Homo-oligomer: A and B are copies of this chain.
Amino acid sequence: MHEQNMVHFAPIGCVHSPHQDLAGMPIQPPAAKEFAGTIEIFPEFSDGLKDIEAFTRLMLIYHLHKSTGCNLTVTPFLDTQSHGVFATRVPKRPNAIGFSVVRLLGREGNILQIGDVDILDGTPLLDIKPYVPLFDAYQNERYGWFEGKLTDIDVARSDDRFKK
């Protein structure tokens, strides 16, 4: 990959959450119903939040800043078989981009209160997009190796396999 093809982003804010360690975290937002947190949007981007409080879900795109390196085939938390990294949601990816659909609970100025938080404390936030069911919600899809693996998602937690 040539340097001129690199893409550069600057964080717009920071996620504050109860999760201090990559091990023991909920695997995805449906497993994180009891975890609330906040988003601190840097003041220079505050005007970009106008009217966001009328949405009940937000898509967060963030930098998995504690993730380094990756393998192209991986054994994810929820399975004992290996799969291609692009067929999984594991945090060690060629580009360390995280994605979560969280609940928006409230807003005070440049601070958003959020629920269903499966994100590490201190995570740099790259973008917020409002969740629109018509664009984003597809119920009747085949979901590969995950099928049959999600019955214990409420209690499943990460271990340390994707630490540095």
Residues of chain A at the chain B interface (Cβ within 8 Å):
1, 5-12, 28-30, 41, 45, 47-52, 54-57, 59, 61, 63, 72-73, 82-89, 93-95, 97, 99, 101, 124, 126-146, 150, 153
Which residues of chain B are near A51, meaning CB under 8 Å? Answer: 83-84, 87, 144-145
C-alpha spacing A88/B132, complex, angstroms: 10
Shortest Cβ distance from residue A86 to the other chain B in the assembled complex, whole angstroms: 4
Which residues of chain B are near A101, meaning CB under 8 Å? Answer: 135-136, 138
Shortest Cβ distance from residue A128 to the other chain B in the assembled complex, whole angstroms: 4
Which residues of chain B are near A41, meaning CB under 8 Å? Answer: 86
B145:A30 contact, CB within 8 angstroms: no
Which residues of chain B are near A94, meaning CB under 8 Å? Answer: 10, 12, 45, 48, 127
Shortest Cβ distance from residue A119 to the other chain B in the assembled complex, whole angstroms: 13
B141:A95 contact, CB within 8 angstroms: no
Show 22 residue pairs from A and B whose CB-CB distance is below 8 angstroms, ordered by the A residue: A5-B11, A9-B95, A10-B94, A28-B134, A41-B86, A47-B72, A48-B85, A51-B83, A51-B145, A52-B86, A55-B87, A55-B142, A56-B142, A86-B129, A89-B132, A99-B99, A131-B141, A131-B143, A133-B138, A133-B141, A134-B146, A139-B139
